[in-house]
Structure 1
Amino acid sequence: MKAPRLPVPTPLHGTDTAFTQDSITRRLTKILQRTLAENDLPDTAVAQLTALLNSIPHGRIGYLPDHLAPELDIWQADIQPYLGQTWLEAPWFFVETYFYRRIAAAVDHFRSGIDPFAHQKRQGLAATVTQTQALLRQADRLITNGWQPNGFRQMLLAALWGNQADMSMWAAGDDAMPNHAKVDDQTTHLLVDDTTAVAQLLQSPVRRVDFIMDNAGFELIGDLCLTDYLLATRQVGTVFYHLKLFPTFVSDATAFDVESTVAYLNHHEDPILREAGQRLISYLVNGRLHLVTDPFWTSPHPLWQLPPTINQQLANANLLISKGDANYRRALGDAPWPHTTPFADIVSYLPTPALFLRTCKSEVLAGLSTAQAAKMAQLDEDWLINGRWGVNQLANNNSD
Structure 2
Amino acid sequence: MYSCPTPSPLSAKFEGSFAYDTVKDRLPVILTKTIDTVHKCISSYEDKFGEDGANDVKSVVGQLSKLRSEMMTDKPLNDFRDDLKDTEKWNAALERLKQDEDHTPSHFKSPWLFVECAMYRQITSILQNSKFMKDFDPFCQQKSVALEKSMSGASVLLQYLQKYLALGDNGVDLARYFEIFLKASLWSNKFDLSLSAGVSHDPGSHDPVQVMSSLEEYILADETDEIFQCLSKIQTSAAKDVRVDIVLDNAGFEFLSDLCLAEFLLQSKLAQKIHFHIKNMPWFISDVTSKDVDYTLKQMTSSSDCTLSEFGKRWQSRLVDKSFIIVPEHLCQYWTLPSSYTDMQHLDESLYEYLAQSDLVIFKGDLNFRKLVADLSWSSDTPFKNALGAFHPSPLCSLRTLKADVVVGLKSGRDLEAEKDDANWMVTGKYAVVLFDA
TM-score (norm 2): 0.84
Residues 149 and 202, structure 2, Cα contact 8 Å, conserved in 1 = no
Q: Of residues 301, 310, 313 in structure 1, which corresponds to 2:354?
A: 313
Shift of the alpha carbon at 1:34?
1.1
Q: Could you say what secondary structure the match of 1:86 adopts?
A: coil
Q: CA separation in 2, counterparts of 1:152 and 1:393?
A: 15
Alignment of 1:1-400 (within 5 A): 7-16=5-14, 17-39=16-38, 40-41=40-41, 42-64=57-79, 66-82=81-97, 84-108=104-128, 112-146=134-168, 148-170=174-196, 171-174=198-201, 182-203=211-232, 205=235, 207-292=242-327, 293=329, 294-306=332-344, 307-347=348-388, 349-396=391-438
Contact (CA 8 Å) 1:94, 1:300: kept in 2 or not?
A: yes
SS of residue in 2 equivalent to 1:152: helix
For the Cα contact (< 8 Å) 1:342–1:366, is it kept in 2? yes
Find the counterpart in structure 1 of residue 46 from structure 2. none
Give, as a single letter, the amino acid of the residue that structure 2 aligns with 1:10: S
Residues 63 and 80 in structure 1, CA contact (< 8 A), matched pair in contact too: no
What is the distance in 2 between the residues matched to 1:172 and 1:127?
12
SS of the residue 2:242 aligns to: strand
Residues 47-81 of structure 1: CA distance to partner in whole angstroms, max 9, x if unpaired? 11011111123242343453231111211222234
Q: Which amino acid aligns with 2:224?
A: T
- Give the SS at the match of 2:434: strand
Contact 1:6 / 1:345 at 8 angstroms: preserved in 2? Answer: no
Paired residue type of 1:32: L
Change (3 A) 1:44 1:143: farther
The 1:109/1:362 distance shift into structure 2, 3 A limit, reads farther
CA deviations over 1:36-55 (Å, ceiling 9, x no partner): 22333411211110111111
Shift of 1:263: 1.8
Counterpart code for 1:193:
D
Give the Å deviation of 1:378.
1.4
For 2:207 and 2:10, how far apart are their aligned partners in 1? 29
Question: Equivalents in 1 of 2:218, 2:340: separation in Å?
Answer: 27
Give how far 1:82 is off.
4.7
- Cα separation, partners in 2 of 1:334 and 1:137, compared to 1, 3 Å: same
Q: Partners in 2 of 1:287 and 1:174 — Cα distance?
A: 33
* Matched letter for residue 63 of structure 1: N
Between 270-279 and 144-153, report the one with greater CA deviation. Answer: 144-153
Number of aligned positions between the proteins: 392
Q: Distance in 2 between matches of 1:371 and 1:53?
A: 40
Structure 1 residues 180, 115: closer, same or farther in 2, change over 3 A?
Answer: farther
Distance 1:180 1:380, change over 3 A: farther
Contact in 2 for aligned 1:157/1:186 (Cα 8 Å): no
RMSD: 2.3
Cα drift, residue 324 of structure 1: 0.3
Q: Structure 1 residues 172, 57: CA separation in 2 closer, same or farther (over 3 Å shift)?
A: closer
What is the distance in 2 between the residues matched to 1:290 and 1:262? 14
> What's the CA shift for 1:217?
1.1
Q: Which residues of structure 1 form unaligned runs of 5+?
A: none
Q: Is 2:191–2:201's contact at 8 Å kept on the other side of the alignment?
A: no
Partner Cα separation in structure 1 for residue 311 and residue 182 of structure 2 = 17
- Identify if the C-alpha distance between structure 1 residues 142 and 186 changes in structure 2 by more than 3 Å, giving closer, same or farther: farther
Shift in Å at residue 309 of structure 1? 1.0
Letter in 2 for 1:80: E
What residue identity is the alignment partner of 1:152? F
SS in 1 for 2:326: strand
**Cα distance in structure 1, aligned partners of 2:203 and 2:353:** 41
Distance of 2:129 and 2:431 partners within structure 1: 35
Higher relative contact order (CA 8 A, sep 6+): 1
Q: Secondary structure at the match of 2:118?
A: helix
Q: Give 1:347's aligned amino acid.
A: L
Q: CA deviation at 1:248?
A: 0.8
Please identify which structure carries the higher helix content. 2
Please tell me whether the aligned partners of residues 363 and 397 of structure 2 are also in contact (alpha carbons under 8 angstroms).
yes
Q: Cα 1:200–1:249, aligned 2, differ >3 Å: closer, same or farther?
A: same
Using a 3 Å threshold, how does the CA distance of structure 1 residues 62 and 322 change in structure 2: closer, same or farther? same
